[in-house]
Structure formats: structure tokens, C-alpha cells
A and B are shown apart, each in its own frame.
Chain A
Amino acid sequence: MTKVTMTVNGRSVAGDVEDRTLLVDFLRSNLGLTGTHVGCDTSQCGACVVHVDGRAVKSCTMLAVQASGADVTTIEGIGTPEALHPVQEAFRENHALQCGFCTPGMIMATVDLIKRKGTDLDEATVRHELDGNICRCTGYHNIVKAVLSAAEKMAGAKAAAE
């Protein structure tokens, strides 16, 4: 067992884990943050995406010990039911989810995508950038719409703030 400490959604946490424990299992089992999902075992589906030190990471592909000392944000940390993140709001507005299982990963990947690529996005870029996230329900149509609309709203909000 190895002791890990990290900041998760702004709270410092610690735990004893086996060396082989994946970050996603630490988040789900040790911390009870079950919003981060596991949809595959080959790093393909993206249901597990979280942010580690500000970058999108597939938490099924990182050991908990590798994240020791890091700043981790999960779906539970980017917005609350009362105060949604603009990307969360856009997913709801555009019916970009059905069963909701891929949704946390999609949202975390989208937040990262807008951060990296900016708010001036086109459909082809969004589709290409979301290749690491699989959704079996929505056919992506409304996810793409949601991402574009979130980017637009965030650009508007930024402009208004300046």
C-alpha cells in the first residue's frame, strides 16, 4: 500500500492505495466520486475523463500514485446542480445526452477542448477532437451542437467581461 495525497475539486484528500490502483478507482471507490465512469478497459471510450493539473486525462489510464500531489477536477467539481458550468448547461439545452453515462467524460473533454482550441470552433474540429470519447446513444449530432453552442456562449461571456 502506498499513501497518496492530492487535491480533488479543491479539497485535499489522502488515501492508502495498492500500487496498481487506477486514478478512476481511487476517485470512485475511495472518494465516492462516482460521476467519473468506466466504460472500457482499453483507453478508448473517454467515460473516465477528468482534469489533472488542468489537462484532460483518461483516469482509467493513470495510476492513483501518478496523480499524487496533483490537482484533480472531476465532473462533480466543475459545476453544481444550482450553478452549472456553461458546458453542462449547453449539454442540457441541446439534448446532448440520453443515458448520461458518457456525459461526464464528454463534458470534461469539452471543457478541455475549448480551453485548448479556443471558442472559435467549427464542426470538423469538434468532431475530430472528440474522437477519444464514445457515445452510443446520441449519435454525436447534439453533442457537437452543444460544444459549439457552449463555445459561443463562453466567447460571449468573455467578451462581456472585457
Chain B
Amino acid sequence: MGMEGIGAPVKRKEDRRFITGRGRYTDDIALKDMTYAWFVRSPHAHARIRSIDTSAARAAPGVVGVLTGADLAGDKIGGLICGWMIHSKDGSPMKAGAHPAIAAEVVKHVGDQVAVVIAETRNQARDAAELVVVDYEPLPAIVDPAKSRAAAAPQVHPEAPGNLIYNWGLGDEAATDAALAGAARIVTLDMRNNRLVPNAIEPRAAIGAYDPAEEHYTLYNTSQNPHVARLVLSAFVGVAPEHKLRVVAPDVGGGFGSKIFIYPEETVCLWASRRIGGRPVKWTADRSESFLVDAHGRDHVTHAEMAFDADNRILGLKVHTIANIGAYMSTFSSSVPTYLYATLLSGQYDIPAIYAEVDAVYTHTAPVDAYRGAGRPEATYVVERLMETAARELGVDPAELRRRNFVRSFPHQTPVIMAYDAGDYEAHLDAALKIADYAGFAARKAEAKARGKLRGIGFSCYIEACGIAPSQAVGSLGAGVGLWESAEVRVNPVGTVEVLTGCHSHGQGHETTYAQLVNERLGIPIDQISIVHGDTDKVQFGMGTYGSRSGAVGMSAVLKAIEKVEAKAKKIAAHLMEASEADIVIEGGELKVAGTDKSLPFFQVALAAYTAHNLPAGMEPGLKEGAFYDPTNFTFPAGTYICEVEIDPDTGKTEICSFVAVDDFGKIINPMIVEGQVHGGVTQGLGQALLENCVYDEESGQLITGSMMDYAMPRASDVPSYNVTTTETVCPGNPLGMKGCGEAGAIGSPPALINAITDAIGNNDLSMPATPEKVWRAIRAVA
């Protein structure tokens, strides 16, 4: 490992601009003649729009235009789409209702947009929006997914009778029923995976700019995947043809999934810029708007049964889940509670039979889509809560019950599609037990008891799947896109390098880690390497960053391109040094003839490629190569988390005393960045388990937790410092042996915390978030 190569904890190249306030986020961009958009949003969860009177708003100071859903339909701008087709058990396609970018007839959740006001300043737009008079006929609303299928429940979309989008199944139901019937013991659990608001600290923003002379559109956007945005906006929504639309995602302040999706607001900004004659239109969400209209996460209601034999081996698992999709199907919403969820229900365990059934339902709430982990946290919560519950009911040690059921030989085919390629689950369990000093727990519990505190310990042995692929497989499961990645490596005549990637960094540190890969292979210092991403005019195509794919998929594409550069550079060097191509090695920034003292610095070979004065016969000038990489399988990071808590029985308040995370992410490029990803992910998971909860009022459908005053975000004093370490089994599925680390923390930590709290209080009946009030009541319920 070099100082800047693979495995080195290199300090981030991108930090200098961020720590000095010189980052460039979408809202920091000011274009000439820019106007500002403010959306008029529905105060009702469900209502018919009788009429909209925009005359007073049009006459207000500074107003440039007021546009409604009727204008949008008149311009034949299509609705937003869900890009993953799911079929129900009976073979019928999912029943998706229309998703107009501005509602024209019926509003379906609080915050649904009904008009947009464009003005010279943001305040003028906001003031004028107050003057738009919308006559609503309020209708009854349904917000609880568990109740939305009831016969009397209000209907969200006529296309989906009974609010059912699909009734999907995975696995062998008969075999699973047989396993349950033959079990020595069945453990049953009802769970709610609480609804979350992603809350990246940068609110979403968009600037649409239309150039009438070129009939060309530019969108600056807080996006995790600008190319997908361009594809959807052109091919499906029809705002602009693809070759006339440039999408730029500059610095983006966190995403966690919520900035993957193609939303109404960016659609409207692009279209509105053309409608007002080409002046740019900027929209920046208020945090209150983010709460109302960003896609939320989770919101599952689940019943699960796990069957054991007399030796405490798992025989089968049967799961039924109701997944709340919200009022509209967001871009990838259909895949989250299906292929990203039920396929992980085998956990780290050898389970002969699994059957999962999922009802996806509409409600009058904001759309629900992928949020850090997307389906995998929900699966892990089901499996790991069941395992802990089983250990208690069977009277065995929770670590040993897990150990007994681990998958031990690889590859391992689960009953739910996934083929685990590599892992060593005992290695991280053993490491975590040691670091957490599990052996000393009983003494710590006794000591806490003497102080009047309840101490508990909880486990979570999670598995997840990253780098969704290969494209052909996901296509056969209904994905509307391929999930490969592209890269281009441009060596300049002076030997500096630009790497263009279709992935997008919004905190992950690609400007550093991708440069480390180039450094490892070509020996060029990382300050002579630039990473270019987030601009569809520069990078031809890519799928963006989510699902922990930027390493395993994105960097594999970069590696492929580097290998092509190396091959050509070797040919040139061999020619220049009159050696055999097979004898050329690249080392420390030089091309050497093995076994001799002949060498050429890399930059001289680069220069030779561009001067083209002396190249091998027939060789094209230049040193620039591109590659597309389509993986052969998912990757399967896994790990063990152990959480220890202390609870004050008088207040129900939980203190997290220690949190140990041992993860197997395969090969690691930059351990400093990987640890940071775990810290952040774990905190989001602990936030879900302890604090965060998105609540809609059952009667009115109003969002009760609509600001950071009402929705408890984890703060520095809510969480401890973490004990994070890794084990390694190399991923055989990609050339770098990487598995991905972006989501593990959020996937593995919620059950660890709830298992710890329920252990401490001796009551297993506790739902997330474990607020002091709930914990206090749970203590009393068993006292």
C-alpha cells in the first residue's frame, strides 16, 4: 500500500472547499436574470379542486407568471413515473395511479402542489402564492397503511381499487407452511418499521434554465443521479429532448436516497423557464416543505413467524408486510418493499424455507421510497428482532442461537433469490463479542442495578446487498434501467489525469477514493488527479450513487478504463524503449522494462501519445479510455453490531453506553472514509430506533411532525462515540473485492438498540422509536 493508494487513510481532497465555505451547492448558484418559484401547496390531505383563481397573484408586485396543472397538461408535460414494474402474485401488473407534477383535479396529500408562482424575488413569489385562491372540496383521507385496505377506507387512486398497488409474494409458501407445521417451536412477532423523514441537511433545490435561441435546457439540481434525472425528464415526462437537456448536480449536501428520485419541482422549474421566455427559475425548499414533499422512508407493518426445530435450528420463516407507498408511486418505490426487502429475509442464516408476502398500499401521505438501506433495514429488523425474541423464548444465549444458524459455506443460495458469494459470519460475531466484553456484561448489569439502573445488551447480525446488478437480472425482475456504471480515464499530455464517473458524490468522498485507485495503478500523486462527476455534458451516462454502489460498481468501471489506459501506455513505452510489450511494468509513476534499468516516466509516455511523432504503426494518438462495467452479482456486506444501554426506570430515558460495530466490507479503499460511513449510518439507525418518527393525524391527514421542532433528529448528545472495526472476506464478484459500506450502519443498528432496551426492561413489547414515555410504560407493564 502506497501513501495514497488503496488502503491508505488519505485525507479528503474535497474538504478544503467545504471547510472554507467555498462549496458550491445548487442554492449557491445565481444565474443572470434569475427568477424564483414558490409552490402553492394543498392544506388538505385529500380534496377535489373546484377552481383556482390566480388573478390577484398575477397582479402582485414582481410576479412574472403563475402556472397551474391545467397549463402543464395543456403543454403535454407528462406525469412522473415509477421505474420498477412489480407484478402481483396473480400475475397482474402493479396498479399505479397518475402522478402529475402539479395536481389539476384532486390533491392527494398535504403539501401536494396545485400552482407555482414565479417572481423577481423569493419573497415576492411567496407573498403572491398567498393570493392564489384555491376552492377545495375536502374529502376523507386515509393515512394508516394497516387500515387503507378496509372496505370503507377512502380511495386514493381509481386505478388501484382498495388502495392495493400490488400483492406480491416471494419464496415457497407450501414449503414454508410445512416447516411451520412441523416445528418444535414457533416465534411470532408483530412489528412496525416506523416512518422516517430523510432530512439531508441541504434542502432540495433546482434551477431550470431554458435558452430559446438553442432550444436547450439546463437543470441544476440536488440530485444523486443526474443522468437518470435527464433520462426520465426527457423520455417519460417529456419536458425536453435528451440531447437538449443538461443536468448538473453540483455539490450536494447529503442524499440518503431522498435525492435519487425525480420530483415534481425540478420538472416544473425547467418547464416554467420556457413558459416565461427563458429566464432561469430557481426553487429551494424550506425545511417545512422538505418534510411535506420529500419522499419518506420505511413505514412497514409486519407480522412474522419463525419456526425452530428441537435443536434450535431455524426451519422456516413466514412474513407478511403491508408497505405504505404514500399518495404517489415515487421513482423506485415499488422495488423497496419487494426485491430490496424480502430477498434479504434469510439474514446470515441457513433457512430452508422462506415465504414473504407484501401488500403495497396507497395512503394520503407523502410518497415513500428508498431511504438509507431501502428495504434492507426493514428485513434486518424483522430477522434480528425475531432472533433475539427466539433466544429469550427458547432460553438460549442470543449470540449462540445466531452462531448455530449461520451460513457457513459459500456460495450459499437462499430460498429468496440471493446467492451469497462470500462471508465469515463467525469472524465478526467473535470479534464483536470480544470488543464488547460480552463476558463481562453480567457484572456490568449487576453494578448498574446497584445504582438503580437497568442495563441491557442487544445484538444484530445483519446482512445486506449492495450494488444492485447485473442489469439483465434486475431487468427480468422489473427494473426499468440497467444498473451498470461507466467511467472514462483521460490522461492529459502532461500526465495529469481526469476520471469521469457516472456515480455522484454527495458526502462519500469519491474525489479522494477514486484518485486513490488511479494512484494505486498508475503511481500518479492524487493532487494530479481530478474526479469529474455530476454533469451530463461532461460524463456521457451513468446511474448515479445509491445502494452503496459507487465502490463495487463505479470503481470497477474506473478500473476497467485504467486497465485499457495501461495497455496502451505499455504499447507506447515498449515501442519507445525498443522492448517487448510483455516486459513493461508500471511502477511508481514509471513504465519500466522489467529486469533492466530502462524506464520512462508516465508523463513522457502520455506526451508521446499526444505528440504522436513516434507511435507504434497504426496506433491512434491520444491516451483516453472509457469503460462500462456490469457486475455479475450483488455484493453482500455483513457484520455484527452489539449495543449496550442503561435505562433510568423512573424516566424511561435510554442512555447508549456502548456501540460496537464489526463489519465485513471486503477490500477497503480508505478506512477513514469507511469508518465515517459507519458512524453516520449507525447514527441514522439509532435515530430511527430511539427518536425519529413521522406522524400523520389519522383524522385530518395533517403531518404532525412537520419540522425539526416536532421530528426528533439525532444530535451529538443523543449518541455515543462508536467502536468501529472491520473483518475482511474478499468479494469475488468484482475485481477490487469490495462490498460497499454506505448503508450498513443504518441497516444493522435499529434492532441492536431495540434488542438492548427490551433486554434491559424485560419486556419485548416495544416499538420504534423507543421514546422515554414508551419505555417507561413498557417497564410498568411488566412490573
Q: Is the pair B717, A128 in contact by a Cβ cutoff of 8 Å?
A: yes
Q: Is the pair B672, A74 in contact by a Cβ cutoff of 8 Å?
A: no
Q: Is the pair A104, B21 in contact by a Cβ cutoff of 8 Å?
A: yes
Q: Is the pair A140, B19 in contact by a Cβ cutoff of 8 Å?
A: no
Of residues 80 through 133 on chain A, the ones whose CB sits less than 8 Å from some CB of chain B are 80-81, 84, 88, 91-93, 95, 97-104, 107, 123, 126-128, 130-131, 133
Q: Report chain A residues within 8 Å CB of B256.
A: 136
Q: Is the pair B15, A92 in contact by a Cβ cutoff of 8 Å?
A: yes
Q: Is the pair A141, B23 in contact by a Cβ cutoff of 8 Å?
A: no
C-alpha spacing A131/B286, complex, angstroms: 21
Expressed in whole angstroms, the minimum distance between the Cβ of A134 and any Cβ of chain B is: 5
Q: Is the pair A81, B680 in contact by a Cβ cutoff of 8 Å?
A: no
Expressed in whole angstroms, the minimum distance between the Cβ of A39 and any Cβ of chain B is: 4
C-alpha spacing A35/B22, complex, angstroms: 6
Given contacts A99-B506, A101-B254, A137-B507, contact A79 B18 (CB under 8 A): no
Of residues 185 through 238 on chain B, the ones whose CB sits less than 8 Å from some CB of chain A are 199-203
Partner of B201, one of A79, A91, A99, A142: A99
Query: Any chain B CB within 8 A of the CB of A144?
Result: yes
Identify the closest chain B residue to A74 (Cβ).
B21
Query: Any chain A CB within 8 A of the CB of B253?
Result: yes
Which of A41-49, A64-72, A151-159 sits within the interface?
A: A41-49
Q: Report chain B residues within 8 Å CB of A123.
A: 721
Expressed in whole angstroms, the minimum distance between the Cβ of B204 and any Cβ of chain A is: 12
Given contacts A80-B20, A103-B19, A139-B722, contact A95 B717 (CB under 8 A): no
Q: Report chain B residues within 8 Å CB of A88.
A: 19-20
Expressed in whole angstroms, the minimum distance between the Cβ of A122 and any Cβ of chain B is: 12
Q: Is the pair A101, B722 in contact by a Cβ cutoff of 8 Å?
A: no
Identify the closest chain B residue to A83 (Cβ).
B20
C-alpha spacing A110/B598, complex, angstroms: 54
Partner of A100, one of B123, B203, B507, B722: B507
Query: Any chain B CB within 8 A of the CB of A40?
Result: yes
Q: Report chain A residues within 8 Å CB of B30.
A: 29, 32
Partner of B199, one of A75, A103, A136: A136
Query: Any chain B CB within 8 A of the CB of A135?
Result: yes
C-alpha spacing A107/B14, complex, angstroms: 16
A97, A102, A131: residue with the most chain B Cβ atoms closer than 10 Å:
A97
Q: Report chain B residues within 8 Å CB of A53.
A: none
Expressed in whole angstroms, the minimum distance between the Cβ of A121 and any Cβ of chain B is: 13
C-alpha spacing A38/B126, complex, angstroms: 17
Given contacts A44-B708, A130-B716, contact A141 B679 (CB under 8 A): yes
Of residues 46 through 64 on chain A, the ones whose CB sits less than 8 Å from some CB of chain B are 47
Q: Is the pair B676, A100 in contact by a Cβ cutoff of 8 Å?
A: no
Query: Any chain B CB within 8 A of the CB of A23?
Result: no
Q: Report chain B residues within 8 Å CB of A42.
A: 287-288, 707-709
Q: Is the pair A139, B683 in contact by a Cβ cutoff of 8 Å?
A: yes
Query: Any chain A CB within 8 A of the CB of B252?
Result: yes
Q: Report chain A residues within 8 Å CB of B507.
A: 98-100, 137
C-alpha spacing A99/B721, complex, angstroms: 20
Query: Any chain A CB within 8 A of the CB of B509?
Result: yes
Expressed in whole angstroms, the minimum distance between the Cβ of A50 and any Cβ of chain B is: 10
Q: Report chain B residues within 8 Å CB of A36.
A: 21
Q: Is the pair A92, B16 in contact by a Cβ cutoff of 8 Å?
A: yes
Q: Report chain A residues within 8 Å CB of B32.
A: none
Q: Report chain A residues within 8 Å CB of B715.
A: 130-131, 133-134, 140
Q: Is the pair A138, B673 in contact by a Cβ cutoff of 8 Å?
A: no
Q: Report chain A residues within 8 Å CB of B683.
A: 138-141
Of residues 256 through 287 on chain B, the ones whose CB sits less than 8 Å from some CB of chain A are 256, 284, 286-287
C-alpha spacing A94/B369, complex, angstroms: 33
Q: Is the pair A136, B11 in contact by a Cβ cutoff of 8 Å?
A: no
Query: Any chain A CB within 8 A of the CB of B603?
Result: no
Query: Any chain B CB within 8 A of the CB of A3?
Result: no
A37, A98, A133, A145: residue with the most chain B Cβ atoms closer than 10 Å:
A98
Q: Report chain A residues within 8 Å CB of B252.
A: 99
Query: Any chain A CB within 8 A of the CB of B145?
Result: no
Query: Any chain A CB within 8 A of the CB of B251?
Result: yes
Q: Is the pair A34, B21 in contact by a Cβ cutoff of 8 Å?
A: yes
Q: Is the pair B684, A75 in contact by a Cβ cutoff of 8 Å?
A: no
Given contacts A37-B202, A81-B22, A100-B15, contact A18 B123 (CB under 8 A): yes
Partner of B12, one of A92, A104, A135, A137: A92
A91, A101, A138: residue with the most chain B Cβ atoms closer than 10 Å:
A101
Query: Any chain A CB within 8 A of the CB of B47?
Result: no
C-alpha spacing A51/B271, complex, angstroms: 40
Expressed in whole angstroms, the minimum distance between the Cβ of A105 and any Cβ of chain B is: 9
Expressed in whole angstroms, the minimum distance between the Cβ of A117 and any Cβ of chain B is: 14
Q: Is the pair A35, B20 in contact by a Cβ cutoff of 8 Å?
A: yes
Query: Any chain B CB within 8 A of the CB of A76?
Result: yes
Q: Report chain A residues within 8 Å CB of B675.
A: 95
Identify the closest chain A residue to B29 (Cβ).
A34
Given contacts A80-B20, A99-B200, contact A141 B721 (CB under 8 A): yes
Query: Any chain A CB within 8 A of the CB of B681?
Result: yes
C-alpha spacing A160/B707, complex, angstroms: 47
Expressed in whole angstroms, the minimum distance between the Cβ of B639 and any Cβ of chain A is: 16
Identify the closest chain B residue to A138 (Cβ).
B680
Query: Any chain A CB within 8 A of the CB of B451?
Result: no
Partner of B23, one of A39, A74, A100: A100
Query: Any chain B CB within 8 A of the CB of A6?
Result: no
Q: Is the pair B680, A137 in contact by a Cβ cutoff of 8 Å?
A: yes
Q: Mark B383-424, 1 if CB is under 8 A from A, else 0.
A: 000000000000000000000000000000000000000000
Query: Any chain A CB within 8 A of the CB of B25?
Result: yes
Query: Any chain B CB within 8 A of the CB of A14?
Result: no
Identify the closest chain B residue to A108 (Cβ).
B21
Q: Report chain B residues within 8 Å CB of A76.
A: 20-22
Q: Report chain A residues within 8 Å CB of B287.
A: 39-42, 45
Query: Any chain A CB within 8 A of the CB of B688?
Result: no
Query: Any chain A CB within 8 A of the CB of B613?
Result: no
Q: Is the pair A81, B17 in contact by a Cβ cutoff of 8 Å?
A: yes
Q: Is the pair A41, B201 in contact by a Cβ cutoff of 8 Å?
A: no
C-alpha spacing A103/B22, complex, angstroms: 11
Q: Mark B512-544, 1 if CB is under 8 A from A, else 0.
A: 000000000000000000000000000000000
Query: Any chain A CB within 8 A of the CB of B682?
Result: yes
Expressed in whole angstroms, the minimum distance between the Cβ of B61 and any Cβ of chain A is: 12
Given contacts A98-B509, A138-B680, contact A93 B19 (CB under 8 A): no
Identify the closest chain B residue to A75 (Cβ).
B21
Query: Any chain A CB within 8 A of the CB of B713?
Result: yes
Q: Report chain B residues within 8 Å CB of A101.
A: 23, 25, 200-202, 253-254
Q: Is the pair A92, B716 in contact by a Cβ cutoff of 8 Å?
A: no
Q: Report chain A residues within 8 Å CB of B448.
A: none
Instruction: Supply 20 further A-B pairs (C-beta < 8 A) apart from A34-B21, A76-B22, A141-B722.
Output: A28-B27, A34-B25, A35-B21, A36-B21, A37-B202, A39-B287, A41-B286, A42-B288, A42-B709, A75-B21, A80-B20, A92-B12, A97-B15, A100-B14, A100-B251, A101-B25, A103-B18, A135-B201, A137-B680, A139-B682
- Of the A-B pairs whose beta carbons lie under 8 Å apart in the complex, a sample of 21, sorted by A's number, is A18-B123, A33-B21, A34-B25, A35-B23, A37-B202, A45-B708, A75-B19, A81-B17, A81-B20, A95-B672, A98-B508, A101-B23, A101-B202, A103-B18, A137-B254, A138-B680, A138-B683, A139-B679, A139-B681, A144-B716, A145-B721
9 closest Cβ pairs, A-B complex: A35-B21, A100-B18, A101-B253, A139-B683, A75-B21, A99-B507, A98-B507, A139-B679, A44-B708
